[in-house]
Homo-oligomer: A and B are copies of this chain.
Amino acid sequence: MKVSRQDHYTDTIRGGVLRDTPQRRHVYDLLRDEHSHPTATEVFLRAKKGMPSISLATVYNTLETLVACGLVKQVHVDREPTRFCPNLEEHGHFVCEHCSRVFDIDLAAERSQQWSLPAGFTITHHEISLRGICADCAKSEIQNPKSEIR
């Protein structure tokens, strides 16, 4: 529902000193509508369709702002380009080594704090990333197998 999305964006953006600019709204809406975990460059390319004048620097700035606001999350896969994710729920990511798609993985809430840390350590953030083969690719592998995965 569009209303609550706009509200969350508006509340968060307007709550601070930040301005609700066309660029920010455009990038945010774009991210909310896609669940493909785009990179900054991909966001830039998609953003240009509806706003041809937007610059890559603005996309980087905007994404940084949205992350700082907590409106989107960064996803890191090895040292590949950072991806951005509008899913604010507790979750990890699965990257298919064959098609490179990134999938959200639900993390059972009860497991999230069960790390056996040494005494005195405090967690502020965690990132779980899994690699492997997704169901689609596993299926097509069976039909036309190729050994050169990766």
Number of interface residues of A (CB under 8 A): 39
Residues of B within 8 A of A114 (CB): 108, 111
Q: Across the interface, do B122 and A133 meet the contact criterion of CB distance under 8 Å?
A: yes
Q: Is the CB of A135 closer than 8 A to any CB of chain B?
A: yes
Q: Count this chain's copies in the assembly.
A: 2
A70 beta carbon closer than 8 Å to chain B? no
A15, CB-defined interface residue at 8 Å = no
Question: Would you give 26 A-B contacts (Cβ < 8 Å), ordered by A?
Answer: A74-B78, A76-B76, A78-B82, A94-B123, A97-B124, A103-B118, A105-B116, A105-B117, A111-B111, A117-B130, A118-B135, A120-B134, A120-B136, A120-B138, A121-B132, A121-B134, A122-B133, A122-B138, A123-B130, A123-B132, A126-B129, A126-B130, A126-B131, A127-B129, A127-B131, A128-B128
